[in-house]
Amino acid sequence: MTDARTFLIDCLQRVIDGGDVTNDELDAVIADPAGLRGVERKAWHGLGYWADDDDIREKDPKYAPSRRQQLIGLLCDLTHEDSR
C-alpha cells in the first residue's frame, strides 16, 4: 500500500467517523495530486470537496450525512482495490 493510499484511507475514515480534514492537510501530504490515479485520485477529490464545503455543511444539516455516504463509497473502493 502506498503512503498516499494509507493517508487517504485514514482521512476518509476520520471524516466518516465525524471528524474533519482541511485542504492544507491534504496538500501537505499529497503536494501533487496529478500523480494520483484511479480510486486514489477520486478519494483525494472527494476529500477536497469535503474540505471546501464547510460553509454548506453549516447551512444545511442534511448535507454532511449525504457527503459522508459518498465518502464511505470511496473508502470501500480504496480498500477493496487494495485487497485484490
- pTM of this structure: 0.91
Give the dihedral sign, CA 54/70/44/42. negative
Find the mean pLDDT for residues 59-84.
89
Q: How many angstroms separate the CA atoms of 48 and 68, rounded?
A: 13
Would you state the pLDDT for residue 42? 96
Residue 82 pLDDT grade (very low, low, confident, very high; cuts 50, 70, 90): low
Percent over 70 (pLDDT), the chain: 94
CB atoms within 10 A of CB 44: 20
Number of domains in the chain: 1
Provide the residue range defining the domain that includes 28. Answer: 3-82
Residue with cell 459518498: 70
- Candidates 58, 55, 30, 59; CA nearest to 45 is 30
Find the mean pLDDT for residues 3-13.
96
